[in-house]
Amino acid sequence: MPRRLSRARPGLPLTPACILLAPVLLLLPLPGARSLGLYSPKDPLVLLRADTLERSIFNSSSAWVVEFYASWCGHCIHFAPTWIALASDIKDWRPAVMLGVIDCADMSNQKICSDFGITGYPTLKFFKAFSKKPEDGIRLYHHGDDIRNLRESIIATLERHETVWPPACPPLEPISAAELHGFFQANNVTYLGLIFEKEDSFLGREVTLDMLQFENIAVRRVLQSNVELVKRFNVTTFPSGFLLLNTGSYSPIPVHNDSRYLYTDYLRRLSGVFRGGAFKPTVVPDVYPTTTPAPWRVADRKKLYMADVESAVVYSLRMEAARFLHLDEERLALLKQYVTVLVKYFPGRPKVMNYLRNLDSWLRPKMNVSQSEWEEALRNKKELPSARLPETPTWVGCQGSKPQYRGYPCSLWTLFHLLTVQEALRSPVSASPSEVLPTMRGYVRYFFGCRECADHFEAMVAESMNKVRDKDGAILWLWSRHNRVNLRLADSSSTDPRFPKIQWPPQDLCLRCQMTVNGKRMWNREAVLKFFKFHFSRANIYLDFLDRLVRNVRNVAERDYETEGKLEGGGGGENVREAEEEFEKDKQRTEKQEDARVEKSGLDRSGSPELHRPSIIKMNTKTKELEEDIVDLDTFSEQHYRSKALKAAAEANVRPRRSKRDTGLVLMEDEGLQSFDYDAFWDHRRHKGIGAQQLIGAVEEEGSEKEYRLTLRKSQWFRILGVGFSRLDVSLCIALYFLSSLCLLGMYTFFRMRLRYRKGRPGYPLA
């Protein structure tokens, strides 16, 4: 028997049409449905997509609360369990109130999220019943992320319905003495629960909604200010409950505290009270996409992958900057600065760099840019085949064990580290201030979707970025701040359990970056700087998994870099067919080398060793400027750590021995920034299948690209002869050569003089 409760007209029953319109039918999936983003179909909420969002919430007889989130957003990951718990807590409020989610990080949902005015994550929007357009959504503000505050915010917003009340929702306003007098005549129910409460209490409204799906009972609230009813029932404590029967009798509800669950449980156990069959969810065909997860890509943590940094550029331009319906003056100025910095310092492939140059030229004269204009500018043009940006991101070193882990935040950190290093390597004036750091700060402030993350970063920037005086200081500042961020997030739910956050770089990558002083671990900042200048150098960038190539064909990659700057507009281009043919020839050999590397290092095919989180290491106390706590690297660096070696080094707790040749290091500590440990470097490169000619190119860039190539040509023979020897080795060789020359000269003089002496003696045979 349908209930006869209404807000404006108590005698008006619910119509079958209202029941049929209830979107609760969408809630139960078929067995085996896949997880989408941070939520799955088994959760008691609706998973929305670009093609279902509008038709679900517009003209719906239900009120909707939708969370717009990004699966990579740290705060969204933290908030997801709360939202799921809320959905379970208020599932009996359906179909009056429906909860939904949509992943705005999915590129197919980007446009619809932008149309709904979503500029940060997570965003909660409340849509009244029979909403017509995105602008009808009300931003749902709440104090904290606990379930109680969210419930109260939903109820407070629900009561703001001015003219149209959700048909399935019972009245939430307090009952009056006059309405109570004729209640059972107007409503065909056996029980009426009255909850006496204070004006600011939400208990009565919550219990009313909790009992929405139950028949033969109604619940109303009575305020403490209603003196007539308070005196009639002799109420002295608030909250208090009374149960009225249609026979005219009443009795107190035996609940003596502010417990919504106790009231609900008592009322549901009453004789004759049952859950209404009209609101039982029905299984419907699975309408959720069954997308195939990205294949696992085996990555080497020693490498820097072009796929990751290009993906950061792709996502920042195609997704983050495209969220705004209109780029205002401040955002547009920052976007221009961001693209200009990419053009100057991003060591991308020729096609990508041509694309960025064209975009930079298009942006410079613009005074305002709409979303449609920006989307049009970002499209790859058929008439410009040599200027293209990848359509979608591809994570390699930043690939997480699940789609919500790592990805874009990891690649963005990697991109900014790369830009600070490239700025220091390319700029002729090292003492000039960095332009990358202010650009990075502005980008995070105006475009980064996770607003809580952006606020944390801005606090760090305001605290110490003004102390950075030069470009080397910018490298170290970003390194230390990144480590600090990941220390804060090390045990959070946003951390990939397969790639725990540690202090970076670890000892097995840079032994001399850490040292022990008086039993305490310290950072060697000079060694860290040298290591960063190698690790984020152009020579250490690999093109694996990009575009058509599953693995990098190194000679094609080098040719790709050599042609940079020569391709302008539509002129020039890669020989794609030749590259693919060379790749097919090299593919099997590369796979064998990769398999041998994995087997030798003791890793499984996933590249993940035994997990280990080393202890937090404090910075070198000798440097007072930029003093801070160091924390882990969120990006590429956490992969495939040799946990046993780290553990052994930590237990030994001794200062690493400084030998003239340390194979655990790539860069030497006691020499200039351009000095390599060639023995370790050669061994490192030999395992990658790179010969002497490729080794020549693996040095820091000096000045412009032309000067860099000229320097390499002049010094190539010296570097080839010096491969495998440190400077001390070369010095010893020179000294031994000099001594051996003196020895040979002395022997020659001795035998020459002896021969003359013998010739002067009588009896010496003459010719």
Look at residues 159, 240, 232, 157 and name the one whose alpha carbon lies nearest to residue 204: 240
Cβ proximity of 364 and 336 under 8 Å: yes
What is residue 175's predicted lDDT score, i.e. its pLDDT?
94
Residue 737 in tokens:
């050569």
CA distance linking residue 597 with residue 594, whole number of Å: 5
Q: What is the share, in percent, of the chain residues with pLDDT greater than 70?
A: 68
Q: Which residues are catalytic?
A: 73, 76
Question: Which has more pLDDT, 65 or 279?
Answer: 65
Torsion angles phi and psi, residue 250, rounded to 5: -150, 160
Q: Is the pLDDT of residue 204 over 50?
A: yes
Cβ proximity of 400 and 406 under 8 Å: yes
CATH class of 177-279: alpha beta
Highest mean predicted confidence (pLDDT) among 131-135, 489-493, 691-695, 712-716: 131-135
pLDDT digits (tens, 9 = 90+) for 17-37: 333 333 333 333 333 333 457
- Domain 304-566+576-652, CATH number (from 3.40.50.150, 3.40.430.10, 1.10.10.10, 1.20.120.310): 1.20.120.310
Tell me the pLDDT band of 555, cut-offs 50, 70 and 90: very low
What is residue 418's predicted lDDT score, i.e. its pLDDT?
96
Cβ proximity of 492 and 74 under 8 Å: yes
Q: Is the pLDDT of residue 402 over 90?
A: no
Q: Is the pLDDT of residue 159 over 60?
A: yes
Domains 23-158 and 304-566+576-652 share a fold: no
What is residue 613's predicted lDDT score, i.e. its pLDDT?
38
CA distance linking residue 206 with residue 262, whole number of Å: 12
Whole-number Cα distances in Å, 484 to 264, 481, 588, 632: 47, 5, 42, 7
Torsion angles phi and psi, residue 214, rounded to 5: -105, 140
Question: Which has more pLDDT, 705 or 744?
Answer: 744
The conformational region for residue 59 under phi > 0 = left, psi -120 to 50 = alpha, else beta, is: left
Q: For residue 360, with 0-12 CB atoms within 10 Å meaning exposed, 13-18 middle and 19 or more buried, which class applies?
A: middle
CA distance linking residue 486 with residue 488, whole number of Å: 5
Tell me the pLDDT band of 520, cut-offs 50, 70 and 90: confident
* Radius of gyration, alpha carbons of the chain: 35
What is residue 693's predicted lDDT score, i.e. its pLDDT?
38
Residue 670, classed as helix, strand or coil, is coil
Least confident range from 106-115, 428-437, 517-526, 597-606: namely 597-606
What is residue 547's predicted lDDT score, i.e. its pLDDT?
63
Cβ proximity of 760 and 712 under 8 Å: no
The DSSP annotation for 188-231 comes to --SEEEEEEE-TT--HHHHHHHHTTTEESEEEEEEETT-HHHHH
Whole-number Cα distances in Å, 57 to 63, 100, 137: 8, 9, 10
What is residue 762's predicted lDDT score, i.e. its pLDDT?
62
Residue 432 in tokens:
């000039």
| Residues 23-158, CATH architecture | 3-Layer(aba) Sandwich (3.40)
What is residue 622's predicted lDDT score, i.e. its pLDDT?
39
Query: Measured on CA atoms in the order 241, 263, 92, 250, is the torsion positive or negative?
Result: negative
The conformation of residue 614, written as its DSSP 8-state character, comes to P
Least confident range from 191-200, 331-340, 578-587: namely 578-587
What is residue 299's predicted lDDT score, i.e. its pLDDT?
86
Q: Is the pTM of this model over 0.75?
A: no
Query: What is the average pLDDT score of the chain?
Result: 75
What is residue 761's predicted lDDT score, i.e. its pLDDT?
64
- Alpha helices, H only, 324-470: 329-345, 350-363, 371-378, 408-426, 436-446, 451-464
Cβ proximity of 322 and 81 under 8 Å: no
Q: Is the pLDDT of residue 747 over 50?
A: yes
Cβ proximity of 222 and 174 under 8 Å: yes
CA distance linking residue 276 with residue 432, whole number of Å: 73
Question: Which has more pLDDT, 348 or 587?
Answer: 348
CA distance linking residue 399 with residue 298, whole number of Å: 9
CB atoms under 10 Å from CB of 501, counted, come to: 24
CA distance linking residue 31 with residue 634, whole number of Å: 36
Tell me the pLDDT band of 678, cut-offs 50, 70 and 90: very low
Least confident range from 520-529, 569-578, 581-590: namely 569-578
Domain positions in the chain are: 23-158, 177-279, 304-566+576-652, 726-767
Q: What is the share, in percent, of the chain residues with pLDDT greater than 90?
A: 44
pLDDT digits (tens, 9 = 90+) for 56-109: 999 999 999 999 999 999 889 989 999 999 999 999 999 999 999 999 998 899
Question: Which has more pLDDT, 145 or 712?
Answer: 145
Question: Which has more pLDDT, 748 or 646?
Answer: 748
CA distance linking residue 25 with residue 18, whole number of Å: 13
Question: Which has more pLDDT, 763 or 325?
Answer: 325
Residue 505 in tokens:
């770089």
Cβ proximity of 231 and 240 under 8 Å: no
Q: Is the pLDDT of residue 391 over 50?
A: yes
Torsion angles phi and psi, residue 563, rounded to 5: -85, 0
**Which residues are within 8 A (CB) of 730 and not within 5 positions of it... i.e. 6 or more apart?**
722
CA distance linking residue 595 with residue 604, whole number of Å: 10
Residue 656 in tokens:
């690493």
Look at residues 475, 415, 474, 422 and name the one whose alpha carbon lies nearest to residue 444: 415
Average pLDDT (708-737) is 59
Question: Which has more pLDDT, 287 or 761?
Answer: 761
What is residue 511's predicted lDDT score, i.e. its pLDDT?
87
What is residue 521's predicted lDDT score, i.e. its pLDDT?
81
Query: Measured on CA atoms in the order 192, 279, 262, 227, is the torsion positive or negative?
Result: negative
Q: Is the pLDDT of residue 308 over 60?
A: yes
Torsion angles phi and psi, residue 243, rounded to 5: -110, 120
pLDDT digits (tens, 9 = 90+) for 556-573: 444 444 444 333 333 333
Q: For residue 161, with 0-12 CB atoms within 10 Å meaning exposed, 13-18 middle and 19 or more buried, which class applies?
A: middle
Tell me the pLDDT band of 712, cut-offs 50, 70 and 90: very low
AA identity, residue 21: L
- Measure CA of the first residue to CA of the last residue in the chain; give whole Å: 141
Q: Is the pLDDT of residue 369 over 70?
A: yes
